[in-house]
Amino acid sequence: MDNIAPDESSLTVPLIADEEKQRLGCKLGDVETNYRHPTTGTTSTFKTVFHELNALSGVGILSIPYALMSGGWLSLILLFVISIAAFYSGLLIQRCMDVDSNIRTYPDIGERAFGNKGRLLVSVVMYIELYMVAAGFLILEGDNLQNLFPNMGLEVAGFELGARQSFVIIVALVILPTVWLDNMSILSYVSASGVLASAIILVSIFWTGAIDGIGFNEKGTLINWNGIPTAVSLYAFCYCAHPVFPTLYTSMKNKYQFSNVLILCFILCTLCYASMAVLGYLMFGSKVQSQITLSLPTDKFSSRVAIYTTLVNPIAKYALMVTPIVNVTKSWFPLNRNKRPFSLFISTAFVISNVTVALSLPFFGDLMSLVGAFLSMTASIVLPCLCYMKISGTYRRFGFEMLVLVSVVLLGIAVVIFGTYTSLLQIIGHL
């Protein structure tokens, strides 16, 4: 993002401009471009696989055992259902882009389908999702640091803060200078570690269970109907990378390989998520917490590896996640947007508001469930189907394809309604 002209937002420059600048640390760095002349991609299929795996690999892996515990063993079937639906909607994004070679970003698809209102809807959904995920990063950091150092506390202006609240504030202060940066390229490379981090966490969890004495002895329950909405919402959160798919597709040298890339990445990520869910549930059963790392014994080396890996990744990714929102906020004030003091003020105010949300919503699982149900399901399942139906004209004729599309949309809407309702009830209950 360091090569942006002074009068442009970071949202108007593709993350993948060439092979020397593969910057996919933030999935929304390229969400707000208007139609431009099509460009020839330069990214190889292999690199696209890596970037897509990185986009799909995230903090969702930490809550997947809790999701399985919430819904029971049979809810694992719903993980595969969500995965198939998300894969299908990813193909629809490709088909939408094939209709018009000028389409380069997700909001472009929304505008091509429904005009300016479509662009606005897609953009708003993604900005809110980014904001809430950034708050989730702070909650995650506070929870895991409290698990490591439970006796930590601070006194600020006569108010005593517990360990978790103290660590949320401390982490925010550590992250704040990264949000002030104008050149995000270094952090972009660091943040492209989601694949490695997920692999390390999965291996560490297996090591803890198989070698460090935890074992895999819990039986679990077959089905828990009351927990199904929470389970599905958390499963949906794991597949929220669709906003970056247009960027990946545009950057590819061999675009005809995109569907094969999707198949491979969805298979690998789903196997990783399912493995983590099964391992965590067998290890801790109904006692598994909203983040699997909070259930691990902190005196084991393998557990500490998993926890420290969990801690480092969000710190590197936070600035990249929030930069698009900060930049679009600055664009509302064209006279001041290039003034350094004003830029620092906006960035700092954003972090403060994010800390407030993180302290107000203390339960990581509830927040990720809400994001998965309301935002991820909308952006990754419902909107791609609706946009494709409009752009392709499928809605004008009834056939097998239309039946599939309607079924997927109804599935998405059902998860949005019931998952969001359940998540809000849980959040209210924990306040």
Per-residue pLDDT tens, the chain, 431 aa: give them.
333 333 333 333 333 333 333 333 334 444 445 554 445 667 788 888 888 888 888 788 999 999 999 999 999 999 999 999 999 999 999 999 998 888 888 899 999 999 999 999 999 998 898 899 889 989 999 988 888 888 777 766 667 778 888 889 999 998 888 888 766 555 566 656 667 888 899 999 999 999 888 889 888 899 999 999 999 999 999 998 888 888 888 888 888 899 999 999 999 999 999 999 999 999 999 999 989 999 998 888 989 899 888 888 787 778 877 877 887 888 788 776 677 788 888 889 999 999 999 988 778 888 899 999 999 999 999 999 999 999 988 887 888 889 999 999 999 999 999 999 999 988 888 77
| Separation CA 242–CA 429 (nearest Å) | 31
With left for phi above 0 and alpha for psi between -120 and 50, is residue 215 left, alpha or beta? left
- Report the chain's terminal Cα–Cα distance, integer Å: 39
Among 347, 323, 380, smallest CA distance to 60 is for 380
pLDDT at 39: 52
Among 87, 93, 88, 49, smallest CA distance to 266 is for 87
Q: Report helix, strand or coil for 252.
A: strand
| Separation CA 98–CA 353 (nearest Å) | 40
Point out which residues pair with 287 in neighbouring strands: none
| Separation CA 218–CA 150 (nearest Å) | 27
Q: In sequence order, what E strands does 69-162 have?
A: 154-156, 159-161
| Tokens representing residue 10 in the block | 């970071």
Positive or negative: CA dihedral 31, 37, 38, 41:
negative
| Tokens representing residue 157 in the block | 């202006």
Q: In sequence order, what E strands does 107-163 have?
A: 154-156, 159-161
pLDDT at 280: 94
Provide the CA 11 distance to its chain's centre, in angstroms.
18
The full set of domain ranges for the chain reads 23-430
With left for phi above 0 and alpha for psi between -120 and 50, is residue 213 left, alpha or beta? left
pLDDT at 344: 87
pLDDT at 19: 37
Where does 23-430 sit in CATH, by number?
A: 1.20.1740.10
